[in-house]
Structure 1
């Protein structure tokens, strides 16, 4: 198309793109320099291409900007805002001028703001942490240039890092087993570095690096599910503590822009709020349960224990009456009195054990070492059993101030109580040691063994011990033989945040 030189000079100075289109076919007749930059191609290759600027002519023309998408050959789509002018008659024919600008990043930002609003609403209204984090992962995955998303958190109960939100990937449940297998082969886990250093990591070409590294072999098929290149890990920070990480797999052909990184940090802030809120709710529930346990302990001590004590006094009084009765009533009353006294003694021992178990704050108030030492001294004084405690010095510093300390104390107390109650030992020994992020607890005695466990049955106490161990991805095993004593072994994982701080997670 022929345009006079003065007009070309003027139009080429404009910052916005200008295109002259055929009135009947919307094809490009001519564009200015800015349009070449925006559409990412020179004039000669764009001449004759059909544009998305439609409709043209008639009543559709307006001063209001409209939006269209320009598909770059072998590249990312560009979002354009444009306005259409009045038709012009040139020597070579009638054309319609269109002024346009690149609003791709602006439109992305609008979508991100909308996503943030939706996630903030979820955080405020949904009580399920999994639902909230899955919704956040979905919002991130739907944003421009993202192939897949994971939200991983450090659970307050000390289990391994968990994927609590995911979008784009399948078989989410297998991810951490594969990740840990890669770690064991020497792979560098950026998520743990993100948590330890509490900063965002951007790794260009991460997919190619992982595929080329044999250490990542367990995860090769998993990461190959999606078409991605770069990896971004953003920490979930609340009150200076890393609660988890937002991991994003950037789609092939896209790059991490400043806008995307800022958006991910904003989503991570929302996710951290959700995790922190859920953790506070969980702690409130634990506090409520603790207070209820203490109330039950007080009621048992002030009411039931006193009533049982009164029954014991009545039984002993009955024995005195029996001695003044003639035969054969004196022997029968004495027998009943002796049986009642034995039952009262057993109930009192059981109640003391229950009251002791219902004191959930003992380890928190005294510290784990002091609480266990007091337990050992109480057993020696009350039951006449020699009690030995072997405590790894690391255990006190690692466990004090954690919920794990209380569960460890209750497991040891229950094991000792079972031994004293059922196995009639002369000696009981409790040992605690920490190795590679695992706490090992062993309680052994020289008694007659636990008949209930040998018969395949188990009381509430054994069930409670196993439940407490499972809270920390652990287990409880019991070996018992007639005349050979009982050995209770428990393994519990340390809280994940403490393993991360020491580097155990990498």
Structure 2
């Protein structure tokens, strides 16, 4: 359609179609000021030119003639609407189009871009093409691409926000990044993401961008609430519906109740305000506030964009809450397991030591005490104390192996394997082809270590195995990820467990391992091997905060 209009417009302006000049009451050529009589103009106006004139007038694209200095000579109605200025005020003023690029000839598909600021302060982004006219002027075809660019920015922001949520390690860091993405759109100067469990409670600031120093924002906001400030986004928390307030900044800055936040709220250049609810399963968990630049109204497409970003923020908040609950449940399970292990090992040893000490005392009180028996009892007491100490050290090590923080995952697994091998006789081979070239966050390393620990515990307790193997490597399809396998040569779980308690504990162990893997977007698979025995395999994708380094 643009090429048809180009041809029509060029024919139209070159033909010298006339209009009556309101200033002079005479006929002036549309092509740039060529004077002719009314009769001559009428005689040169053919039926075809009249049709072309209708095309130009009815076009939805902007069409204009500029003089050799780039000033408007004429503009069609669509161009007037796009530029937002009446035609009589446009004529003679400088256009935003670059007319120095005379290498652009008629019919060329090369497009240029220009920025236009309307009298009301709105910025418009125009795409245009120019063609030279015989009289030295320029014909311009142009269209408004502001909304297209905004949509592209919004889609990019939404995509980046989704990626940020997927790779999130810290909720505050994730939502700060999301607030920054909201501010990448042309219309929005600043953004906040807040959460609250109850509208009557204090708000929690989870993400902010576009403001200055805001370390005490929550405290200042609480003071504004105590002063009775009209905080419109509290309505969003209460009713779960968006709130749009035009020209909000002047009201806030003039209200004494908002005085504690005047410094912060005055920092960005904004005017209108939108608050969008963060909703998860019908429950409002927070809000996202957007502060629009002057002259930028929050239109339907912008509200749709904010709604999409609010959905991502809500998912991030809910995911963090689920991970916290999962982590708490895992910690509770670990405490229960520690209590059982203490009872089954250290407590039993201490009980035996107490009984042996009483027996020794009873023998010492006898006048005919047998020294050889006393020596044997003392030796047994010493052995019990050594076993209790060894078990206690093992339990302390399980709480958080020092090697995880000091020497890394591989050494921690090797140390644990050596301890188990010495205590149980199970041969455990730890294979890590990349050596110690792992760069893991401590929390990731601890969860992987716990998976290995639990898997080996199941081997010892249920597999009747003589050998186990732990392999730490990278998946073939993702060399920045992590793959850990724990295999044994025992009978696996194919046979009936010895009792229901053992089966239940083993199932809980697998569930705990799976939850740890899923916490880092990983996957855990457990089952029998074709050659016999059992394998537990966990694969973790590359995280934002860890990666497998190249082996040296």
TM-score with structure 1 setting the length = 0.59
Q: 1:39 aligns with which of 70, 73, 83?
A: 83
Q: Which residue of 2 aligns with 1:50?
A: 94
Q: Size of the alignment, in residue pairs?
A: 330
Shift of 1:211: 2.8
1:2 matches 2:52: no
Contact 2:75 2:87 in 1 (8 A): yes
1:318 matches 2:374: no
Q: 2:62 aligns with which of 4, 17, 25?
A: 17
Contact 2:202 2:222 in 1 (8 A): no
Query: SS at the partner of 1:195?
Result: helix
Shift of 1:10: 4.8
Q: Which residue of 2 aligns with 1:76?
A: 122
Shift of 1:177: 0.2
Shift of 1:319: 4.0
Query: SS at the partner of 1:172?
Result: coil
Query: SS at the partner of 1:315?
Result: helix
Distance in structure 1 (CA, Å) of the matches to 2:301 and 2:363: 91
Q: Which residue of 2 aligns with 1:218?
A: 260
Report Cα offsets for 1:315-356 as digits up to 9, x if no partner. Answer: 3333432442279x9xxx9xxx9xx9xxx9xx9xxx9xxxxx
Q: 1:66 aligns with which of 108, 112, 126?
A: 112
Distance in structure 1 (CA, Å) of the matches to 2:269 and 2:104: 44
Query: SS at the partner of 2:335?
Result: helix
Alignment of 1:118-137 (within 5 A): 118-137=160-179
Contact 1:183 1:189 in 2 (8 A): yes
Shift of 1:270: 1.7
1:107 matches 2:149: yes
Higher Cα Rg: structure 1 or 2? 2
Alignment of 1:348-427 (within 5 A): none
Query: SS at the partner of 1:301?
Result: helix
Query: SS at the partner of 1:303?
Result: helix
Distance in structure 2 (CA, Å) of the matches to 1:198 and 1:60: 56
Contact 2:104 2:130 in 1 (8 A): no
Q: 1:138 aligns with which of 180, 188, 191?
A: 180
Shift of 1:8: 5.2
Distance in structure 2 (CA, Å) of the matches to 1:182 and 1:42: 45
Shift of 1:143: 1.2
Query: SS at the partner of 2:29?
Result: coil
Q: 2:73 aligns with which of 29, 43, 47?
A: 29
RMSD over aligned Cα atoms: 3.3
Distance in structure 1 (CA, Å) of the matches to 2:55 and 2:339: 89
Alignment of 1:73-472 (within 5 A): 73-85=119-131, 87-89=132-134, 93-154=135-196, 160-325=202-367
Contact 1:155 1:162 in 2 (8 A): no
Distance in structure 2 (CA, Å) of the matches to 1:318 and 1:155: 62
Shift of 1:65: 4.0
Shift of 1:178: 0.4
Query: SS at the partner of 2:271?
Result: strand
Distance in structure 2 (CA, Å) of the matches to 1:213 and 1:50: 42
Shift of 1:305: 1.9
Query: SS at the partner of 1:152?
Result: strand
Distance in structure 2 (CA, Å) of the matches to 1:192 and 1:105: 31
Contact 1:148 1:250 in 2 (8 A): yes
Distance in structure 1 (CA, Å) of the matches to 2:170 and 2:116: 41
Shift of 1:59: 4.3
TM-score with structure 2 setting the length = 0.54
Shift of 1:74: 4.4
Query: SS at the partner of 1:75?
Result: coil
- CA distance 1:305–1:192, change in 2 (3 Å): farther
Shift of 1:173: 1.4
Distance in structure 1 (CA, Å) of the matches to 2:338 and 2:172: 33
Distance in structure 1 (CA, Å) of the matches to 2:231 and 2:350: 60
Distance in structure 1 (CA, Å) of the matches to 2:235 and 2:85: 42
- CA distance 1:271–1:326, change in 2 (3 Å): same
Distance in structure 1 (CA, Å) of the matches to 2:226 and 2:115: 47
Contact 1:17 1:32 in 2 (8 A): yes
Distance in structure 2 (CA, Å) of the matches to 1:263 and 1:81: 23
Shift of 1:302: 1.8
Moved more, 50-59 or 181-190: 50-59
Stretches of structure 2 lacking an aligned partner (at least 5 in a row):
1-27, 31-40, 43-49, 393-398, 400-552
Contact 2:153 2:184 in 1 (8 A): no
Contact 1:141 1:147 in 2 (8 A): yes
Stretches of structure 1 lacking an aligned partner (at least 5 in a row):
352-357, 359-506
Contact 1:21 1:97 in 2 (8 A): yes
